[in-house]
Amino acid sequence: MNKSIKVFAPASVSNVGCGFDILGFAIDGIGDEMILSKNNLNKLHIKPIEGYKNLPTEPSKNVAGVAIQALLDDLGSNQGFDIEIKKNIKPGSGIGSSSASAAGAVVAANELLGKPYSRKELVNFAMQGEIAASGDAHADNAAPTVLGGFCIVRAYDPLDVIQIESPKDLWCVVIHPQIEIKTKEARELLSTEVDLKKAIRQWGNVAGLISGLHQSDYNLIGRSLEDHIVEKQRKVLIPEFDNLKQAVLEAGALGCSISGSGPSVFALCEGEDKAKAVSSAMNEVFSKTTIPYFIYASQVSNNGVRILE
């Protein structure tokens, strides 16, 4: 049995416009890399994370450590691990930074322990890392990062996740302005009550989006990528959001909305050419600001955490 493993944990987009807290998908253009090695100390040890001095290395406070410990506790194991994390997803970016570290950690640990759990079972442990990050055990980033593709979180008690393969020519473009928005703070902006008419429109869009994915109906996917509840409340935190959305839709995007809590904004596109045009439109808008930013374009990934070596 291997004593060390290296994995790639992809970034993810959650909410996906209409699917607040229940929808997410994996993207392959960016992700965290992690190396886990067994040790004989019966404890977890997280090495300093290069470039992120503020991220805790104490296992009980780090999302990777919390997630692995949840797995070990459930298994009744005291196996120790040395954990090295290469953080390529900036915390607070809105593309699943904490989920990537937690998901990568539990998939790697599971492999080294002989695969006692299925991939779907591992989502439960990755969610425990999310509690350390935001106070909530949500799965709309954790599930697609572990499993790949689009994931529907149908229920939490017990956890019921449905995985859907992405249409083969569906691309995602994400712009990440280099500002930080904490999930907890973004949630505080949301109203606790929803107008019934808006809720009905939202349910229709969720159903339409799922149908569009199953049928590879790109037009239906685009028509369904509308958020009538959350986007209006959260977009005030994102500079140039309205201009950005207008520009990418004019460039041919199927739809555009906030990724997670923001500040990242995603657009779905049919094909690489449209993705390139949308990337250029995003660049055109943000190049006129003083805010640093990154743009990522890739196909929606049907693979979750990948073993590199």
* Residues annotated catalytic, as ranges: 130, 183
Instruction: Give the span between the Cα atoms of 85 and 7, in whole angstroms.
Output: 10
Q: 204 exposed, middle or buried (CB, 10 Å; 0-12, 13-18, 19+)? A: middle
Dihedral Cα 210, 213, 214, 215, nearest 10 deg: 120
Q: Are 164 and 213 in contact (CB under 8 A)?
A: yes
Name, in order, each residue with C-beta under 8 angstroms of 218's C-beta and a sequence gap of 6 or more. 167, 169, 170, 212, 254, 270
Per 3-state DSSP, the chain is made up of helix, strand and coil in percentages (nearest 5) of 35, 25, 35
- 119-134 vs 97-112: helix crossing angle, rounded to 10: 140
Q: In 3D, which of 208, 233, 206 has the Cα closest to residue 21?
A: 206
Instruction: Please tell me what DSSP assigns to residue 21.
Output: T
Name, in order, each residue with C-beta under 8 angstroms of 251's C-beta and a sequence gap of 6 or more. 274, 277, 278, 280, 281
Q: Are 17 and 257 in contact (CB under 8 A)?
A: yes
